């Protein structure tokens, strides 16, 4: 018995004069941020060079470093570009600005990391402390231009243990203080702390600010 294999390789949206969705040969078409884009796919028959292998390792390392912060980055880098935002935009920005390469190898410098990108103003003074078990308190100056309903965004992160706790819509900025309750699993570990501000409708935000490393009680 002969079995005929049928496979849909692509869909013509508007006949032969329009675009397509799916795969045609080595060309794939798919939607991305409201636009239909295409890319080629194919098999590689030559080994990767040392430079290509190094770039692959860097790519994987950056992916792993930022992965626990994905939900935060979707807000922090929302609207970064018309067709480029969220986790991918954050990964691209930090690969260029926070990934350090030296004789010892490569690493992410937490002080250079941005977890939020925007035009809102940052508080002139910000302090972070841990005075209760499993919690971190952020205090910031309340002067400066901002809307009454702007809110604070908070992050604490230990990349070695891949432990992250964050808040994308905390208290209003005009309050001047907020506590992030991380729980007992964070007690006794060191974390990197960041703060940013976002509008109530999430259409605008500030750049994040690195506040240093702190050990949680």
Instruction: Tell me the pLDDT tens digit for each residue of 91-102.
Output: 999 999 999 999
Which of the pair, 18 or 76, is modelled with greater confidence?
76
Q: Tell me yes or no: is domain 50-215 CATH 3.90.1720.10.
A: no
Give the confidence band of 42 by pLDDT, cuts at 50, 70, 90. low
Q: What is the pLDDT of residue 3?
A: 47
102-118 average pLDDT score: 96
For the chain, the average pLDDT equals 88
**DSSP β-ladder status, 151-158 and 163-167:** antiparallel
- For residues 106-135, average pLDDT: 97
Confidence of residue 7 (pLDDT cuts 50, 70, 90): very low
pLDDT tens digits, 44-74: 678 878 788 788 999 999 999 999 999 999 9
* Percentage of residues of the chain with pLDDT beyond 90: 71
Nearest-angstrom CA–CA distance, 217 and 214: 9
Window from 23-27, 83-87, 92-96 with minimum mean pLDDT: 23-27
Higher pLDDT pick, 18 / 184 = 184
pLDDT value, residue 20: 59
0.85 exceeded by pTM:
no
């Amino acid at each position: 018995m002969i079995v005929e294999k049928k496979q849909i390789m692509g869909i013509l949206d508007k006949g032969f004069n329009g675009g397509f969705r799916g795969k045609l040969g080595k060309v794939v078409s798919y939607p991305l941020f409201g636009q239909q884009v295409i890319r080629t796919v194919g098999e590689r028959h030559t080994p990767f060079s040392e430079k290509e292998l190094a770039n692959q390792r860097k790519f994987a390392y950056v992916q792993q470093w930022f992965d626990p912060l994905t939900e935060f980055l979707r807000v922090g880098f929302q609207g970064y570009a018309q067709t480029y935002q969220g986790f991918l935009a954050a990964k691209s920005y930090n690969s260029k600005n926070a990934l350090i390469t030296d004789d010892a190898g490569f690493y992410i410098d937490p002080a250079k990391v941005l977890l939020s990108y925007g035009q809102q103003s940052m508080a002139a003074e910000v302090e972070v402390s841990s005075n209760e078990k499993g919690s971190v308190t952020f205090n910031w100056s309340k002067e400066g231009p901002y809307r009454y309903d702007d809110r604070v965004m908070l992050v604490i992160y230990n990349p070695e243990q891949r432990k992250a706790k964050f808040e994308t819509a905390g208290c209003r900025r005009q309050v001047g203080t907020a506590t992030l309750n991380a729980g007992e699993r964070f007690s006794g570990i060191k974390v990197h702390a960041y703060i940013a501000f976002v509008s109530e409708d999430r259409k605008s935000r500030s750049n994040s600010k690195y506040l240093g490393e702190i050990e949680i009680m």
